[in-house]
């Protein structure tokens, strides 16, 4: 295995890994709030579940970039291309934007979702507003996804 291929695979791993960790932490943060609310108001299950699920999208974005990277370097359905060290670092760089934004936005979206869940517990009619506030954090994960895609296709 060449050094370039190792760097490219490191880009795959951090894209999927960091974004996945951010999602897992965010969903966990929101889940703790939802569990507390549901103990008192089980009728809010649907609303709290949706809010809890929102931070999970960062992991999907990281997975998407990982698959695109694997496809680009030839490991999906074929032989790996010969990858120079320079190209390997370029592929690593393509994974970094979604890795970093996925990690951080997943955690902070989980915190926003937890607050929205608590707001919903006080007044269920405010759950849509809470979803909108939580979704605003998602914007930065989407920007990280787009930058990763642009870097990947510029290589």
pLDDT value at 80 more than 90: no
- Cα–Cα distance for residue pair 34/47, rounded to 1 Å: 9
Q: Where on the phi/psi map is residue 83: left (φ > 0), alpha (ψ -120 to 50), or beta?
A: beta
Contacts of 24 (CB under 8 A, 6+ apart): 59, 106
Q: Which of 9-13, 77-81, 119-123, 149-153 has the lowest mean pLDDT?
A: 77-81
For position 91, what pLDDT does the model report? 96
Q: What is the pTM of this model?
A: 0.90
Q: What is the pLDDT of residues 47-76, one digit of tens each?
A: 999 999 999 999 999 999 999 999 999 888
Q: What is the pLDDT of residues 111-130, one digit of tens each?
A: 999 999 999 999 999 999 99
Burial class (CB in 10 A: 0-12, 13-18, 19+), 119: middle
**Integer-rounded Cα radius of gyration of the chain:** 18
Q: What is the 3-state secondary structure (H, E, C) of the chain?
A: CCHHHHHHHHHHHHHHHHHHHHHHHHHHHHHHHHHHHHHHCHHHHHHHHHHHHHHHHHHHHHHHHHHHHHHHCCCCCCCCCCCCHHHHHHHHHHHHHHHHHHHHHHHHHHHHHHHHHHHHHHCHHHHHHHHHHHHHHHHHHHHHHHHHHHHHHHC
For position 75, what pLDDT does the model report? 86
Calculate the average pLDDT of the chain. 94
For position 74, what pLDDT does the model report? 87
What percent of the chain clears pLDDT 90, i.e. is strictly above it? 90
* CATH code for residues 3-154: 1.20.120.610
For position 149, what pLDDT does the model report? 97
| Domain boundaries along the sequence of the chain | 3-154
């Amino acid at each position: 295995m060449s050094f370039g291929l190792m760097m490219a695979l490191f880009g795959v791993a951090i894209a999927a890994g960091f974004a996945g960790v951010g999602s897992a932490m965010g969903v966990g943060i929101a889940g703790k709030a939802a569990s507390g609310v549901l103990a008192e108001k089980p009728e809010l299950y649907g609303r709290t579940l949706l809010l809890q699920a929102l931070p999970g999208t960062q992991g999907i974005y990281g997975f998407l970039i990982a698959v695109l990277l694997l496809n680009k370097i030839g490991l999906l359905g074929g032989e790996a291309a010969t990858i120079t060290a320079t190209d390997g670092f370029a592929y690593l760089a393509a994974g970094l934007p979604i890795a970093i934004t996925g990690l951080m936005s997943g955690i902070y979206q989980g915190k926003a979702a937890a607050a929205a869940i608590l707001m919903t517990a006080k007044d269920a009619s405010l759950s849509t507003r809470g979803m909108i506030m939580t979704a605003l954090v998602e914007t930065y994960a989407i920007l990280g996804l787009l930058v990763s895609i642009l870097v990947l296709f510029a290589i």
